[in-house]
Structure 1
Amino acid sequence: MRTGPIRCQEAADAGDLRVELAGLHGDTAVVTVAGEIDLRSAMTLRDHLTAVVEAGFESIVIDFEQVLFCDASGLNALVALANRMRADGGGVWLAGVRPAQRRLFQITGLDRRFPLCERVEDAVAQAGPHSLGR
């Protein structure tokens, strides 16, 4: 259940990375990420996703369609988020993951950790049917 404001309501830039709160669907937040997630930008990603968690959302859908590159530091930030969300009874879904990143998730076994959806709408529906239309 949401309890407070989201500090990252404005889009944030970290070099080649852009993180933006794109939508709210009940207790599910949709965050759009664009650019490259690497050692230099992973902290920005982590900080903005943490702000969404601290606002009290039960689920987060991350729109990955515009992510051009994601290295191990980016994966680490996502795993830390998923661990925190699961501990609080929530979850993280990824939507629009490009084939190269999808292969990375499969090689690392993280495709079993993160549901990978083709579209944001599909991820929101999986995150909680009760969240649609709210």
Structure 2
Amino acid sequence: MIEETGRARRPGRPAPEVRCRAGAVRAPAVPGVPAPPAAAGGLRIEISQVRGDTVAVAVAGEIDLRTAGPLREGLVQVHGDMRGTGRRRLVADFAAVPFCDAAGLGALVAAHNQIAAAGGEIVLAGVRPAQLRLLRITGLHRVFAIHRDAEAAFAAEDFPTSSR
């Protein structure tokens, strides 16, 4: 039930759209790596694979001003949790991310900076063509290794500067 207060609207003017958004879903536990925090606004960050010194997380949902902070926090937390296990490389699989704006790019850079300062790295996988174009326009394709998918990122483990 929604209670609307405030001044009356002019006739013919539509009321603002109100949407109910479901909370984020936590990932099942992977032995040796704690689950990432639940993110806001339907954004999900789930640990999908662990191999060698690398952990892959599947990111799902739109990344915008509302979800950029939780994305950064989630990636940094996963990396922080895995540091004690000897793992230092984080693959962020964006195959299920239909939209990422400038706030999302800023969150990726902030997460990269924090993780790099702690001795780790973020690798991107499954980036859609429109997002890849943004990464190239902004020059961020030189900051992040970008791979076709998570499997390609795992195959390139020994080559952290490889790109698509």
- Regarding TM over 0.5, the answer is yes
Match of 1:19 in 2: 45
Q: Which whole-Å CA distance do the structure 1 matches of 2:105 and 2:74 have between them? A: 15
**Superposition CA RMSD, Å:** 1.9
The total of aligned residue pairs comes to: 124
Q: Which whole-Å CA distance do the structure 2 matches of 1:13 and 1:78 have between them? A: 15
The reply to whether residue 61 of structure 1 matches residue 87 of structure 2 is: no
Is the Cα–Cα contact under 8 Å of residues 93 and 127 in structure 1 kept in the other structure? no
Match of 1:52 in 2: 78
Match of 2:162 in 1: none
> Equivalent of 1:42, from 64, 68, 71?
68
Query: Structure 1: any 5+ residue segments left out of the alignment?
Result: 130-134
User: What is the deviation of 1:14?
Assistant: 2.1
Q: Kindly indicate which of the two structures has a greater share of residues assigned to helix.
A: 1
Match of 1:132 in 2: none
Match of 2:146 in 1: 116
User: What is the deviation of 1:116?
Assistant: 1.0
Q: Which has the higher contact order (CA 8 A, sep 6+)?
A: 1
Q: Which whole-Å CA distance do the structure 2 matches of 1:127 and 1:78 have between them? A: 20
User: What is the deviation of 1:113?
Assistant: 0.6
Which structure 1 residue ranges, 4+ long, deviate > 6 Å from structure 2? none
Is the Cα–Cα contact under 8 Å of residues 91 and 127 in structure 1 kept in the other structure? no
Q: Secondary structure at the match of 2:47?
A: strand
The reply to whether residue 90 of structure 1 matches residue 157 of structure 2 is: no
TM-score when scaled to structure 1? 0.82
Q: Measured at CA, do residues 6 and 128 of structure 1 come closer, stay the same or move farther in structure 2, by a change above 3 Å?
A: farther
Query: Structure 2: any 5+ residue segments left out of the alignment?
Result: 1-31, 160-164
Provide the identity percentage: 49
TM-score when scaled to structure 2? 0.68
**Structure having the higher Rg:** 2
Equivalent position amino acid for 1:52 in 2: V
